[in-house]
Amino acid sequence: MRGGSLSSLSLTPTPANRAANLELASRNSHLASRNSELGSRNLPMREEQKCVPQNLKVTREYLLKAFPGFNLTEDTAEPSVCHRFTLTNAKTFEQIKVKVGWSRLSDLSSDGEMMRRLLVNSDLAGKMRNENNDQYYCW
């Protein structure tokens, strides 16, 4: 300790100490409230987990229909970020790749039919055809 002995410390609360204690109490209250909010968000996460398989199925169907003669492989190396699809032409071995973002796959407002319309209306297949074949098109 600099500048004094242990006996010279004052344990009397000062205005600065009171302010610091109030700030800590406020932060703890905020964190408790935040944890409570996160607990109530488990339901949407469960709902997201239900809609992801449906949206993946619709995406697979769209890609196979849009690229006849191509084989489809998938990579889920980053499951909470994106889902990767690679289409490979069986004759020419040309590859077309797309990353579908988790936010699209887990969108609770996007049921299977809405996802199908979104794929068609955004012309995902056309955009993928225009992308460099070595790169993933991010959608």
User: Would 108 be classed as within a structural domain?
Assistant: yes
**Can you tell me the mean pLDDT for 50-69?**
93
Q: Minimal CA–CA distance to 98: which of 75, 65, 114? A: 75
First to last CA, the chain: 59
- Residue 49 and residue 35 share a domain: no
Burial class of residue 112 in the structure, from the number of CB atoms within 10 Å of its CB (0-12 exposed, 13-18 middle, 19+ buried):
middle
Which tops the pLDDT comparison, 7 or 52? 52
Structural domain boundaries, residue 19: 13-40
The 3-state DSSP class for residue 79 equals coil
Q: Is residue 90 part of a domain?
A: yes
pLDDT at 33 over 60: no
Same domain, 58 and 29: no
Rounded to whole angstroms, the Cα distance separating 120 from 108 reads 19
**Given this model, what pLDDT does residue 26 score?**
58
Q: What is the pLDDT of residue 51?
A: 85
What pLDDT score was predicted for residue 25?
Answer: 58
DSSP-based three-state secondary structure for 133: coil
Domain count, the chain: 2
